[in-house]
Amino acid sequence: MPLPATLAPRLLAAMRIVFGLVFLSHGVSKLFGLPPFPMPMNGMLYAAAALELAGGALLIVGLFVRPVAFVLSGMMAVAYFMAHAPQGPFPIANGGEAAVLYCFAFLYMAAAGGGAWSIDAARHRS
């Protein structure tokens, strides 16, 4: 039995919050070592960590969801093509599955917005 369409804005918000939390954890790992990041940090990884931390936090609260998600989608596309695609064409084999999933989930959020439980939605209601 399919879920009622009236749940879509709340499920979108739940998806945004979960993706934001998990994405933020990547930035915490890189910047604060919780859990330890397995590679030495360089300038590009510091930039990625800053975007993961700030972007994840903004997604969690639902502020500026469309532009933030668009930037994060692009970041994950770059991550895939720089770090994973050179290792082979298939995400399952080159370790790029998460990057692809993040890229397209963020692209969807850039188009759909933050859903029902977001600061953006509250600002538009008032």
**Is pTM, for the whole model, over 0.85?**
yes
Query: In whole angstroms, what is the distance from residue 65 CA to residue 16 CA?
Result: 9
Tell me, what's the pLDDT at 10? 97
Mean confidence (pLDDT) of the chain: 96
Residues 6+ apart with CB under 8 A from 18: none
State pLDDT tens for residues 32-67: 999 999 999 999 999 999 999 999 999 999 999 999
Do residues 77 and 70 make contact, with C-beta atoms less than 8 angstroms apart?
no
State pLDDT tens for residues 92-116: 999 999 999 999 999 999 999 999 9
Residues 6+ apart with CB under 8 A from 118: 13, 16, 61, 62, 63, 65
